[in-house]
């Protein structure tokens, strides 16, 4: 497979948007920020995504260094996905986007039924890695 960084734009903001672009990548990241998730767990959390698209999005995020795929030597094989330090660094960005989305809905008088932005408490060690 071609090096994914060669296909990315040179303008940093455009590059960032391309890496997290898509309907599902921010949602997947949201769930793996909380800790390791198996494919079946992610599928249950996002019933509207097809397994094919979920796997495709996870592979793209793995190529771009946002998630890590760990295969356990078990029968049947167990695979878990976790956010990398680079992926975890997107948590405040996605939270800011969530808050902006809430503000937009409020400005458009469409707040009814909108979900809250959830800030997940993480260990001090995880916060320190993200801040570095």
Query: pLDDT digits over 30-64, tens only?
Result: 999 999 999 999 999 999 999 999 999 999 999 99
- Which residues lie below 8 Å from residue 69, measured CB to CB, with a gap of 6+? 58, 62, 79, 80, 81
Contact 29, 20 (CB under 8 A): yes
Gyration radius of the chain over CA positions: 16
What is this structure's pTM?
A: 0.80
C-alpha 55/C-alpha 75 separation (Å) is 20
User: Given this model, what pLDDT does residue 128 score?
Assistant: 46
SS3 4: helix
Domains: count for the chain? 1
In this prediction, residue 118 has a pLDDT band, given cuts at 50, 70 and 90, of confident
Q: How far is 23 from 29, CA to CA, in rounded Å?
A: 12
Q: Is 117 exposed, middle or buried (0-12, 13-18, 19+ CB in 10 A)?
A: middle
Range of the domain at 21: 4-131
Q: Say which CATH number the domain at 49 has.
A: 1.10.10.10
């Amino acid at each position: 497979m071609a090096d994914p960084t060669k296909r990315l734009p040179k303008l940093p903001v455009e590059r960032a948007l391309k890496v997290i672009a898509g309907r599902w990548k921010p949602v997947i990241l949201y769930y793996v920020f909380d800790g390791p998730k198996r494919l079946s767990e992610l599928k249950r959390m996002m019933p509207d995504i097809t397994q094919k698209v979920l796997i495709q999005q996870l592979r793209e995020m793995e190529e771009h260094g946002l998630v890590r795929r760990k295969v356990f030597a078990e029968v049947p094989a167990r695979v878990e996905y976790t956010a990398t330090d680079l992926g975890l660094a997107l948590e405040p960005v996605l939270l800011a986007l969530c808050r902006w989305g809430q503000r937009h809905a409020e400005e458009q008088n469409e707040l009814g039924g909108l979900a809250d932005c959830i800030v997940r408490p993480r260990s001090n060690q995880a916060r320190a890695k993200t801040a570095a």
